[in-house]
Amino acid sequence: MSARLAWIPWVLAIVAAAALAFAVGRFTMYSATGVPTPDAVDIGFARDMQVHHEQAVQMAMIEYRRAQDDVVRSLAYDIATTQAGQRGEMYDWLVQWGVPQSGRLMSWMSDSSGHDHGGASATEADLRAAMGMATDAQVDALSAASGTEADCLFLELMIRHHEGALPMAREAIDGASIPRVTQVAQTILTGQTAELDAMRSAQLRLGCTG
């Protein structure tokens, strides 16, 4: 092999290395500049849905320990585990974005979202009610109930709770900037819609009157 031919593999290796370095550099630059910045919808959704999920997990764990009906107990377990995981992810989003974990409830929601914001004069209790959340007294009543009474009260409270979450999920799907936020919001919309159907079916089967 001539000396000139002997250099060809080395030249090819250098060219390949340079091409790889260029590609990596381009990818890095794109990643650094191409990631969208969270907007008010991303941040508000993460904050408010954490609050919403926290109560859902609380009520689901109460029901899981007291349920008489196996199907309702299974639903409670699924709600608790799914929403605990989602809540942890949302907490991490806010840490990564460098913003506080809490803010005024529903301030990110549009007037067409289906929730009554109540204006600046609305109390936190008003806003929590608009989100379908249970009062402290209702959670205490669930804790004190047992058997079919507990199952029916849980279904009543959790149906209203889920109904309050759906407009929030739709708002995030329509207005979020971060793809993962949109993805989780769609998961919530799909999952909780299916759970609503299951809970309403359980109400009919158990003869709940709530």
Chunked in runs of 10, what are the mean pLDDT values of the chain (210 residues)? 42 37 33 73 98 98 96 98 97 97 92 56 90 97 96 98 98 97 98 98 91
Tokens of 6: 């002997």
Distance CA 36, CA 160 (A): 34
Distance CA 178, CA 173 (A): 10
Residue whose pair of structure tokens reads 């009906």 in the numeric block:
69
The confidence score (pLDDT) of residue 23 equals 37
Long-range contacts formed by 125-131: CB under 8 A, 24+ apart = 128/51, 130/106, 130/164, 131/48, 131/51, 131/52, 131/105, 131/106, 131/164, 131/165, 131/168
The confidence score (pLDDT) of residue 118 equals 52
Q: Which CATH class is domain 36-206?
A: mainly alpha
The confidence score (pLDDT) of residue 18 equals 37
